[in-house]
Amino acid sequence: MIETAFDESGDASGVSHFPYDEIDERLAAAPITHAAASHPTAQFHEQALFALESALAWAVQDVPKNCNGIEIRTTILAWKFLPHLRAKTLTEIAAMIGRDKQSVGRWHDDFKEHFSPPGKVVDDPE
């Protein structure tokens, strides 16, 4: 059934509604292929928790003595792990939190040393 409505000039015009229900049904029937949809093992959960604990311990290492360091370290963690920040340069990250590149760079170097595989320090392109 086609409904009638009026356009900007006042003339009668046919209306077709967006098929929200049809799209919902198609989405519900589609297989989930995202990596997060798989069922991670207990070992995966343990490794992920260990990685998260290590990252957070690194970020808050001087609590409550140095809140500026916590700000810089948590920003570096966000930069490394959040996709929308990864494309930014060290200079852009430093400017984002109102710090000098040198201040953020020292902690970035510490991050690379702390989280790189043994015997290899990962160097990011700048």
Q: How do residues 33-46 score in pLDDT, each as one tens digit?
A: 655 556 778 888 89
- 3-class secondary structure, 4: strand
Stretch (H or E) spanning 122: none
- Check residue 77 and give its pLDDT: 94
Q: How confident is the model at residue 109 (pLDDT cuts 50, 70, 90)?
A: very high
- CA pair distance 19, 125, nearest whole angstrom: 47
pLDDT greater than 60 at residue 117: yes
Q: In 3D, which of 35, 41, 70, 39 has the Cα closest to residue 56?
A: 70
Q: State the pLDDT at residue 126.
A: 45
Q: What confidence tens digit (pLDDT) does each residue in 43-69 have? A: 888 998 999 999 999 998 866 676 888
Domains of the chain: which residue ranges?
Answer: 3-33, 42-115
Mean of all residue pLDDT scores within the chain: 82
CA distance 112 to 73: 12
Share above pLDDT 90 across residues of the chain, in percent, rounded to a whole number: 33
Cα 51 to Cα 4, 44, 46, 63, distances in angstroms? 59, 11, 9, 20
pTM of the predicted model, to two decimals?
0.61
